[in-house]
Structures are given as structure tokens and as C-alpha cells.
């Protein structure tokens, strides 16, 4: 009987803590413009604020997403707002990203450990999708103006299957620092590398496959 009582108390405690869990901590001020210059070696779970009396409209403005960057080995580029290019984001629990995907380019399966993502396609066409924890795949083909949401921390992808036109999308994310982990790079290009036995057994491949994939991914 006593064990059941303790179990119920523990369950209530866990439910309470789950209800308090959020993507980012709640802000205690109207805003907290990031102070990124004077404390480069101090790491906090956000960034210190400048004096509110010294804030300017420019702290809440950026042109960081006006142009895309160079394509990577997968033929895509992500340009992200952060506290360095948009100080007013600090403690607001959000970020934005510009996603440029070349013809036949792919944003490979990846996850954002601290954020859900809502993507709107502006130009081109995309095949997008995510896999839930039951290994169920949800996919959708997007046309300009279409939106798709990727739940927090679930593996997802964006694939430009068009053979003639690049794609441009913009995403909103529910964390000022959502993080991004590409599944393939995490598995085959970590430093130090994952043990070969782990990769062979985990992916049901042989040693030659491990070596070839590592070379292809720069691991």
C-alpha cells in the first residue's frame, strides 16, 4: 500500500515537471538584447543582456536572410538568424532560417534537438518529410506558398527533385539556438570516429562500406 502511495506521488511529480518543460526559458523582461562583445568566454544558457536604456531599433533588425551562402557537399545552404546577427532574438525562444537548395539538392535527414520547425516554400518545389518514433514516415510535396511543420527533435529532410530550378524556403524555429545534427555526419564523420563494429552492426554493412561512406562524407 505504501509503495502505491509513493508511486502516485512520483507520478504527480513527473507530470508536474513535464508541464514545466519548454523549448527555451521564459523571458523575465520585455526583451534582452544580446551582449556578445564583452563576455566571449562566458557560457550561459542564453546570452547576457545589454542595458535596456541602450537598445536601438537596429538591435531588432537584420538583413542576414536577404542572400544565401555557398552550397555545401549536399547542394544546400542554410542561413540562420542568431544573437550575433539579430541581438533582439535573445531569450525570445525563436529563430528563422533561409534554406537554399540547388537543383537535385538535398537537406539530408537531420534533427533539431531543441526546436520544432515550420517551413514555407517561396520558390521551386520540394519533397519534405519526417519520421516519428514509431518509424512512420510522413511526406508531402510542396509548391510555392505551401507550409509544412517538423515536430521537435524528429528526423526530417527537404529534397529538391526538380531537375531545372533551385528551391528557396524560409523556416521558423521554436528556439533561439535550435541546433542541427545530420544523421549521416553524426554516424560516419564524428571526431573521434564511432567504432567500426558499431557502424557495421548498426547499419548492417561491411567494413568496406564503412570506409567508403566515411571518405564520401569527409570523415
Total structural domains within the chain: 2
My answer on whether 61 and 160 are in the same domain is: yes
Alpha helices in 21-134 (DSSP H): none
In a domain, 1, yes or no: no
CATH code of 101's domain: 2.60.120.10
Q: What is the pLDDT of residue 18?
A: 47
> Which pLDDT value is given to residue 10?
60
**pLDDT reported for residue 35:** 83
User: Consecutive 10-residue runs of the chain (219 residues): their mean pLDDT?
Assistant: 58 53 67 76 72 94 95 97 93 94 98 96 97 98 97 97 95 94 96 96 96 92
Residues 159 and 206 in one domain: no
Task: Select from 106, 115, 111 the least CA-distant residue to 158.
Answer: 106
Number of H helices, E strands in the chain: 4, 10
Q: Are 120 and 169 in contact (CB under 8 A)?
A: yes
pTM of the model: 0.83
Residue 150 φ/ψ, nearest 5 degrees: -110, 115
The reported pLDDT for the residue numbered 114 is 93
Q: Would you state the pLDDT for residue 111?
A: 98
Residue range of the domain that includes 123? 52-179
Does residue 87 sit within a domain?
Answer: yes
Indicate whether 194 and 88 sit together in one domain. no
Amino acid at each position: 500500500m505504501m509503495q502505491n502511495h509513493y508511486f502516485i506521488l512520483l507520478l504527480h511529480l513527473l507530470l508536474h515537471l513535464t508541464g514545466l518543460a519548454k523549448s527555451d526559458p521564459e523571458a523575465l523582461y520585455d526583451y534582452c538584447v544580446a551582449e556578445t562583445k564583452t563576455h566571449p568566454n562566458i557560457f550561459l544558457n542564453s546570452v547576457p543582456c545589454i542595458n535596456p536604456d541602450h537598445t536601438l531599433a537596429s538591435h531588432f533588425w537584420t538583413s542576414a536572410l536577404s542572400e544565401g551562402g555557398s552550397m555545401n557537399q549536399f547542394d544546400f545552404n542554410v542561413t540562420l538568424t542568431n544573437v550575433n546577427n539579430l541581438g533582439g532574438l535573445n531569450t525570445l525562444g525563436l529563430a528563422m532560417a533561409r534554406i537554399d537548395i540547388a537543383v537535385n539538392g538535398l537537406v539530408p535527414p537531420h534533427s533539431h534537438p531543441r526546436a520544432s520547425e515550420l517551413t514555407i516554400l517561396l520558390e521551386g518545389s520540394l519533397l519534405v518529410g519526417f519520421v516519428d518514433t514509431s518509424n512512420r514516415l510522413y511526406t508531402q510535396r510542396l509548391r510555392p506558398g505551401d507550409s509544412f511543420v517538423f515536430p521537435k527533435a524528429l528526423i526530417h529532410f527537404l529534397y529538391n527533385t526538380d531537375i531545372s530550378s533551385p528551391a528557396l524556403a524560409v523556416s521558423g524555429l521554436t528556439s533561439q539556438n535550435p541546433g542541427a545534427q545530420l544523421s549521416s555526419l553524426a554516424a560516419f564523420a564524428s571526431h573521434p570516429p564511432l567504432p567500426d563494429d558499431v557502424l557495421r552492426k548498426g547499419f548492417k554493412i561491411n567494413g568496406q562500406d564503412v570506409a567508403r561512406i566515411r571518405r564520401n562524407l569527409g570523415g
